[in-house]
Homo-oligomer: A and B are copies of this chain.
Amino acid sequence: VKIKSTDYNGAAAIVSPLWGVIENAIAEMPLRLKASDQAGLQGNMIFDPVGTNSALKEALVAAGWHPKVTIPSAYQCLGTDVDFEKDGVILEVQFSNYPFLLNNVIRTYLFSCQRVAFNGRVPKALIVITKCKVFPASNSTLYFEQGKNQLDILAASNVAPFPIRLVGLSEDAGSKVPCICKMYHNPRYSRTVVDEKPMTCAIQSAGARARFVLE
């Protein structure tokens, strides 16, 4: 999978020692797809957040990132845990709906202001991994370009001036890429995978959002 990224408030210097491993892990990851069950999209192939999460988790844990670090109880109004932490950098994988980005950004900034430690370290930077608009995905889920617009507006008013690297998973329209295609027994309710196989996906250009076509 390809990567776009953008930095705020001096994130590059802080995250660079940790970046190479993440970049390689994403580059080697096949695109994860599933069949959509949303009205108007049934049967279309869309981005699979669950499969992508698992693949990222495996790579990050192997690289020494601590997964699912509990947020201290006085701060659990902001969520129960952070996705990953290593060397004072928080990493959130955010494929959920768009308000989660400001939740992740503001809470991490507040943790740093209020000296809230994770694995004994106060957060000094935040990495947020999301997917780019080019990927067909569930309605109202965050995408990189939207997140970048949000963070640009935050930065313009100097609200929560904290080192952030925003990362977007992407593929080039017009290319053909390896993918893993997951089918669930009942797409909305079940997490029981019925079938999961390596295939090839054509990223067909279709305006700002591509179409995933299995070959």
Contacts and interface: CB of A to CB of B under 8 A. Distances in A.
A113 B157 contact: yes
A103 B107 CA distance: 12
Given A159-B159, A160-B159, A99 B110 contact: no
A19 interface: no
How many copies of the polypeptide does the oligomer hold?
A: 2
Nearest to A160: B159
From A98, A153, A154, name the one whose CB has the most chain B CB atoms within 10 angstroms: A153
B78 A150 contact: yes
- Give the secondary structure class of A's interface: helix
Looking at chain A, what size class is its interface with the partner chain?
Answer: 20 to 34
A114 interface: yes
A77 B153 contact: yes
Contact of A77 (B77, B97, B149): B149
Nearest to A116: B153
Contacts of A159: 106, 109-110, 113, 159-160
A67 B137 CA distance: 29
A146 B77 contact: yes
Contact of A114 (B150, B157, B160): B157
Interface of A: 75, 77-79, 97-100, 102-103, 106-107, 109-110, 113-114, 146-147, 149-150, 153-154, 156-157, 159-160
18 contacts: A75-B153, A77-B146, A77-B147, A77-B149, A77-B153, A78-B150, A99-B99, A102-B102, A102-B103, A102-B106, A102-B107, A106-B159, A109-B159, A113-B157, A113-B159, A114-B156, A159-B159, A159-B160
